[in-house]
Amino acid sequence: MKTPPDRKKILAWGLTAVVLLFAVWLVSPLFHIDARDEAHGRVYGYRLFLGLMIMIGFVGKSLWDVLAPQGLARKVSGTQAVLLILVAVIVLVFVVFTVAKALDLYLGTAIATDAQQFLP
């Protein structure tokens, strides 16, 4: 007979999901930003930084849980290790995509600003 899931594990997974959703919410303005949002650029920059740091921290924690010597970390099953690595890779790909999108937006704005300086 299967044992019911431990409440601590359910709470840990739920809290992790909430933190990741919060991080995604923090970086979400970046995906629909336009020229009208220029006044909020500094706030969006801070939100982007904080959201990315949360995601990078999650990736580090996940990889520590999987790859740390078993004497230091709790035991992780093979299936759970593969799933944690898969989730960490997905989050890392999202981080790289977000940074690339932010860099594209910054460079596009900088080029447009420089071009306006030379127009009569």
For residue 44, give the nearest of 32, 54, 55 by alpha carbon: 32
Beta-carbon count within 10 A of 59 CB: 19
Neighbours of 113 (CB within 10 A): 9
- pTM score of the predicted model: 0.69
**C-alpha torsion 113→97→20→12, nearest 10:** -150
The owner of tokens 């127009």 is 119
State yes or no: pLDDT of 1 exceeds 60. Answer: no
What confidence tens digit (pLDDT) does each residue in 47-96 have? 888 998 998 898 888 878 777 766 665 676 778 778 888 888 888 888 88
pLDDT in tens, 8-20: 888 988 998 899 8
**DSSP character at residue 73:** S
